[in-house]
Amino acid sequence: MPYKSNTGHSNTTSTMPQIHPEIPPLQNVEIYFWHIEENAEELAAQSQTCNRLLPEARERFKAPKRLREWLAVRALLELTPYGNCSIIYRANGQPVLDGCNKHISISHTHGYAAIAFANKPIGIDIESKKRNALALATAFLQTKEIDTLQPDGNEKTEALRLWTAKEAAFKCFPDKSTVLKDITTQPLDGNSPFMQHLATYRDCTTAICRTVELKEFIISVCTTE
């Protein structure tokens, strides 16, 4: 179902997808969630897009989990202001909104799907807090980044934050890196409700990744400003 967040009125929830109530707003960025509780047939029953695409999706995705995630993203898009657009993909796998002058990024993890929209390149990544990114540290972090992971009991969370930030940065500019280790991150100071990192690509292009930790997952959004 579309993520139900508190609207500020007692005992009232929204039936439209909207930003998670614990995520501070980002200027010129829209983020929508779907909490995937339905099976494929239920998603098709409540979404014209999913109903139309279900036969094709069944042929394409044999794993039920992947099928539900793919359909949930389309059901979610249908309920946003850009529901008249469709998602197509470039050769590099980057999603594009066909029929809308907006940039889009997609992510899903353990029962949640998310879409982010912006007027400029954007990347979004959500990761379950159950994921052990620390075990993969040498595969996606450079030595100087690993050195920042202090053995104080929080290193697993910090590694996951950096993984999420780099995934979002990769999605923002997928042609500027081949693996996450190609992207370097540097913490940014400042008065912000987000943990901020400057992401630098091999060609010296930079982007800003903003990460926040929630109860179920960690989410990072990467933009050029």
Last residue in a domain, options 119, 150, 182 = 119
Confidence check: pLDDT of 117 > 50: yes
Instruction: In whole angstroms, give the CA distance from residue 106 to residue 95.
Output: 8
- Domain of 150 in residue numbering reads as 125-223
Confidence check: pLDDT of 122 > 60: yes
Q: Is residue 23 assigned to a domain?
A: no
Span 67-97, pLDDT tens digits: 999 999 999 999 999 999 999 999 999 999 9
Q: Amino acid letter at 24?
A: P
pLDDT, average across residues 141-159: 89
176 and 134 within one domain: yes
Q: Which of 49-53, 109-113, 126-130 has the lowest mean pLDDT?
A: 109-113
Beta bridge partners of 212: 219
Could you tell me the CATH number of the domain that includes residue 145?
3.90.470.20
Q: Is residue 12 assigned to a domain?
A: no
Residue 52 corresponds to which tokens in the numbers above?
A: 């139309």
How many structural domains does the chain have?
A: 2
84 and 65 within one domain: yes
- pTM score of the predicted model: 0.88
Q: Is residue 142 assigned to a domain?
A: yes
Q: Is residue 211 assigned to a domain?
A: yes
Last residue in a domain, options 74, 104, 119 = 119
If we measure between CA atoms, which residue out of 172, 2, 182, 205 comes closest to residue 95?
A: 172
State the virtual CA torsion across 203, 192, 118, 182 in degrees, nearest 10: 20
Q: Is residue 155 assigned to a domain?
A: yes
103 and 51 within one domain: yes
Using an 8 Å Cβ cutoff, are 197 and 213 in contact? no
Q: Would you state the pLDDT for residue 18?
A: 46
Q: How crowded is residue 114: how many other Cβ atoms within 10 Å of its Cβ?
A: 26
Give the end-to-end CA distance of the chain in Å, rounded to a whole number: 31
